[in-house]
Structure 1
Amino acid sequence: MREQLIAAGRRLFAGKGFTATATPEIVAEAGVTRGALYHHFADKTALFAAVFEAETRIVAAEIEAGSVGSATARDALLSGARAYFAAMRKPGRCRILLVDGPAALGPAEAQRIDALHAGRTLREGLDIATSTGAIRALPVEALSTVLSAAFDRAALDIAGGAEEEGFMAVFEALVDGLMPG
């Protein structure tokens, strides 16, 4: 039943947004009672947090799958970027993760959840790349935060109709700037 609620919430939050989605709609979409909703979640925000976390897990898995087998740190970063943009093209995902997430959960909580999943993939990759000398030694947390913000902004623009290739060219130049020597 919990998964039914999360799936129904995801469909509604993706289509209408957090604010415009009411709990009666969620229970109707899930085919459960209000009591069932409140048995599994304290409120609509708690359900949204579960949807948000599920989405960040999926994005992380897609990034990891997209960068597996990369020969170099450069290739892994660029493959990961492409995988991130592909993952964020799922209808409603940008709305859930980049617009409504910080608004509904608060920026700190949205960041905390992201850091457990999608943000973790970037941070771990950068940590390995800096510690092995594959990219310049920079503070990993700061580098991860800056790149993550750039990825998120690009994903929003791409979702709005901008061409991905332009952003990939910029990310390629940024990654090249991180290379040693």
Structure 2
Amino acid sequence: MAAKTRAQMVEETRAKLITAARKAFATKGYAAASMDDLTAEAGLTRGALYHNFGDKKGLLWAVIDQIDGEMLARLRVVQEGAATPWLALLAESTAYIEMALEPEIQRIMLLDGPAVLGDPANWPNQTACLQRIEKTVQGLIDDGTLKKVDAKAATWLLNGAVLNSALWIAAAQNPEEAFPRAVDAFQHLASGLLADT
């Protein structure tokens, strides 16, 4: 068996730290997750964490990036399964709001992430996501499905409604009870953009 390359060893170390951090951040929360505990869980040293991520905040960015990628893949599947671009936009938005019911996403992506890293609308993956949604919205305006409104403004408002619905659910005393209320209100709000037929 060939010896592992340096790049493979670095990738394995990063993966172990991300896995341990993801578990710790989801169960204990970012603030309570000890760097010593999570490096021990990974069988590594604090030096490995500093070398690969700079600090605990850098490790949180890596965890968020991983979860965000998984969420985007799930949303793509939902979007591709819809009959029309409008229904795809609604289904994708609803699916994102529904993900706020998942404890790991609640804790890491919606509660601790924004508290530590700032507004999720400014996170790196959001730019690509917003551009994709804007393209969809512009297409819906061009084909007459939506009213003639500014596509960028409509995109930011829809995205804000989805994100804030998810944040509300994550922070709610009873997320399961908040979810259908959020989806209902979002769908009413979004349908206000539909062109009069």
Category of TM-score, reference length = shorter chain: 0.7 to 0.9
Do 2:134 and 2:151's aligned partners in 1 also have CA atoms closer than 8 Å?
yes
Once the two structures are aligned, what percentage of the paired residues are identical?
33
Structure 1 residue 75, shift from structure 2 partner: 1.0
Match of 1:8 among 20, 36, 51: 20
Aligned to 1:135: 146
Shift of 1:12: 1.2
Aligned Cα root-mean-square deviation (Å): 2.3
Match of 1:167 among 171, 174, 182: 182
TM-score (norm. length: structure 1): 0.85
Structure with more relative contact order (C-alpha pairs < 8 Å, separation 6 or more): 1
- Structure 1 stretch displaced more, 143-152 or 18-27: 143-152
Q: Which has the larger radius of gyration?
A: 2
Tell me the secondary structure at the aligned position of residue 103 of structure 2: coil
Describe the SS at the equivalent of 2:123: helix
CA distance change for structure 1 residues 62 and 98 in 2, over 3 Å: closer, same or farther? same
1:74/1:175 contact within 8 Å kept:
no
- Kindly indicate whether the alpha-carbon contact (under 8 Å) linking 2:100 and 2:110 is maintained by their aligned counterparts in 1: no
Question: CA–CA distance in 2 between the matches of 1:110 and 1:26?
Answer: 28
**Could you tell me whether the CA contact under 8 Å between 1:134 and 1:179 is conserved in 2?**
yes
Residue 78 in structure 1 maps to residue 93 in structure 2: no
Q: Which runs of 5+ in 2 are unaligned?
A: 1-12
Residues 126, 78 of structure 1: alpha-carbon distance in 2 compared, 3 angstrom cutoff = same
> What TM-score, normalized to structure 2?
0.78
Distance 2:18 2:70 in 1: 14
SS in 2 for 1:129: helix
Which deviations, in whole Å up to 9, do the C-alpha atoms of 1:71-119 show, x marking residues without a partner?
Answer: 2233112211232133333212122222222221233x76232414654
* SS class of match (1:178): coil
* Count of paired positions: 180
Please give the alpha-carbon distance, in whole angstroms, between the structure 2 residues aligned to 1:123 and 1:17: 34
**Aligned pairs (5 A) from 1:72-111:** 72-107=84-119, 111=122
